[in-house]
């Protein structure tokens, strides 16, 4: 249910076809909208497509339903199937139960992608350089536009799997109804990592309490032998980790790493890097390997990524800043880097029932020129900025109808030494397919400048 465009649905369909299952793929999107995903499954026989809508009979006749994380558990089709006792699960739910590898799960509102990648690189580099041909393998999966079922069949007990897990994926574990006679019905990762908890996705979860409960699934089913690494300086995190059934560590970044992290990633990544180092050290990765990886790491694509410099103007792609807190971090970082030069911000988009008063305040005192993309979050941001109109910094505000127009407006305003930063502080739906599509269109618009 929900083939999607991120690759997870494709991997799941491919996995079950290979197991000999008769697979029905159903999605609200049309065949044209799903062309990219369907093309990847073209060579596999035994897949039936029901697109442009769902049908009750497909859910009632299924032996098992694998849902996309983007589908809410309260979907009437899932409620119908659940009422008939038809098992509902996800690719992550299957993987946690059946993979024999040591699983490291990472979640949090911000920083989980960077934390996951660093843990993956620490372990991969260590095993390749210190263990030889018989070393464990390391896999990276989860909320990264691929399915964990793509590699489940080849994982062994000596391997490690790093999973980035979203609140949607974790919430699905709470609603998972597949047991298939298994002794252990639900599991949490052997090593869990919790970066932080900020206000996000309330349009899906409904309340902060529900959102925090979803995040707590990362450790809820751990055993006393399992380990939780948590950001002990985050107040929301501290509220929920007290109930952790496993062992727990709250690492802080050692002073010798601070300048390296601040220079390459920004000071707001200190806690994320500390957690990654904590996990690496727990798995016996030497400090020399950790330092080597950090020296060569400049951040992930779409996360305060410096994509180029055109005629002396810097362009920054921070499209994954989908909440105000993330944009605030970017504004503060690039305000310092810009110094006496201008900071031009492209922001706005769709709301997730978040709060924009602090983002409005920071924009008013730190940004020289603001260009807004259309959306419900944009309207809220504007309302908050009007309330704080005693600005000492903001010189102009413009509205754009497209990314290309926004980049053109920003470029017209910019002079040599200025920074143009895409950091929306909002969701992308409506104007873009997803936040990665938003970032791709930003990069394409920058490349088209003359």
pLDDT at position 183, please? 45
8 A C-beta contact, residue 443 and residue 406: no
pLDDT confidence of residue 185: 64
Backbone angles phi, psi at 424, to 5 degrees: -65, -35
Q: Domains in the chain, ordered, with CATH?
A: 8-89 (3.40.50.720), 92-296 (3.40.1190.10), 305-447 (3.90.190.20)
Inter-residue contact 231 to 273 (CB < 8 Å): no
| Count of residues in the chain | 450
Print burial letters for 340-370: b (CB count within 10 Å at least 16), e (below 16): ebbbbbbbbbbbbbbebeebbbbbbebbbbb
59's CB contacts (< 8 A; 6+ apart) are 1, 65, 77, 78, 80, 81, 86
Per-residue pLDDT of the chain (450 residues; tens, 9 = 90+): 999 887 789 999 999 999 999 999 999 999 999 999 999 999 998 899 999 999 999 999 999 999 999 899 999 999 999 999 999 999 999 999 999 999 999 999 999 999 999 999 999 999 988 766 678 999 999 877 778 999 999 999 999 999 999 999 999 998 888 876 554 467 899 999 999 999 888 888 889 999 999 999 999 999 999 999 999 999 999 999 998 999 999 999 999 999 999 999 999 999 999 999 999 999 999 999 999 999 999 999 999 999 989 889 999 999 999 999 999 999 999 999 999 999 999 999 999 989 999 999 999 999 999 999 999 999 999 999 888 665 568 999 999 999 999 999 999 999 999 999 999 999 998 899 889 999 999 999 999 997
Q: What is the CA radius of gyration of the chain?
A: 23
pLDDT at 430: 84
Q: Are 379 and 354 in contact (CB under 8 A)?
A: no
Query: Are residues 218 and 188 in contact, defined by beta-carbon separation less than 8 angstroms?
Result: yes
| 263 to 257, 268, 332: CA distances (angstroms) | 10, 11, 14
What is the residue-wise DSSP string for 136-203?
Answer: PPEEEEETTTS-GGGTGGG--TT-EEEEE--HHHHHHHHH----TT-S------SEEEE----S--HH
**Between helices 435-447 and 403-413, what is the axis angle to 10°?**
50
Close Cβ partners of 279 (under 8 Å, ≥ 6 residues apart)? 104, 119, 122, 191, 193, 229
Look up the pTM and report it: 0.91
């Amino acid at each position: 249910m929900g083939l999607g465009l991120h690759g997870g649905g494709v991997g799941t369909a491919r996995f079950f076809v290979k197991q000999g299952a008769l697979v029905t793929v159903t999605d609200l999107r049309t065949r044209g909208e799903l062309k990219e995903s369907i093309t990847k499954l073209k060579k596999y026989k035994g897949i039936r497509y029901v697109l442009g809508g769902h049908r009750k009979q497909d859910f009632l006749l299924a032996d098992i339903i694998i849902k996309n994380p983007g589908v809410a558990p309260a979907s009437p089709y899932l409620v119908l199937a659940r009422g008939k006792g038809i098992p509902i699960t996800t690719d992550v739910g299957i993987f946690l139960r059946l993979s024999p590898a040591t699983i490291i799960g990472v979640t949090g509102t911000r920083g989980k992608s960077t934390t996951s990648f660093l843990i993956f690189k620490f372990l991969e580099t260590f095993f390749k350089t210190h263990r030889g041909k018989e070393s464990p393998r390391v896999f990276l999966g989860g909320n990264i536009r691929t399915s964990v079922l793509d590699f489940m069949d080849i994982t062994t007990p000596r391997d490690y799997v790093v999973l980035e897990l979203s609140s949607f994926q974790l919430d699905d574990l709470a609603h998972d109804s597949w047991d298939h006679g298994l002794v252990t019905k639900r599991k949490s990762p052997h090593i869990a990592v919790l970066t932080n908890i900020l206000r996000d996705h309330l349009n899906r979860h409904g309340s902060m309490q529900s959102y925090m409960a979803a995040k707590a699934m990362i450790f809820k089913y751990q055993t006393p032998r399992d380990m939780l690494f948590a950001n002990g300086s985050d107040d929301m995190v501290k509220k929920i980790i007290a109930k952790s059934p496993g062992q727990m560590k709250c690492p802080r970044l050692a002073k010798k790493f601070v300048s390296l992290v601040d220079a390459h990633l920004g000071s707001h990544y200190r806690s994320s890097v500390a957690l990654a180092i904590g996990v690496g050290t727990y798995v016996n990765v030497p400090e020399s390997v950790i330092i080597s990886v950090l020296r060569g790491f400049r951040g992930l694509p779409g996360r305060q990524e410096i994509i180029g410099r055109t005629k002396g103007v810097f362009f920054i792609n921070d499209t994954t800043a989908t909440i105000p807190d993330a944009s605030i971090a970017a504004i503060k970082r690039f305000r310092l880097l810009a110094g006496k030069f201008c900071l031009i911000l492209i922001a706005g988009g769709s709301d997730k029932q978040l709060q924009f008063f602090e983002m409005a305040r920071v924009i008013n005192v730190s940004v020289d020129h603001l260009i807004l993309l259309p959306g419900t979050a944009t309207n809220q941001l504007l309302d908050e900025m009007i309330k704080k109109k005693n600005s000492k910094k903001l010189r102009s505000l413009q509205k754009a109808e497209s990314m290309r127009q926004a980049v053109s407006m920003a470029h017209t305003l910019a002079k040599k030494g200025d920074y143009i930063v895409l950091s929306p502080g909002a969701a992308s739906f409506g104007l873009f397919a997803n936040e990665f599509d938003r970032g791709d269109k930003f990069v394409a618009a920058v490349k088209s400048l003359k």
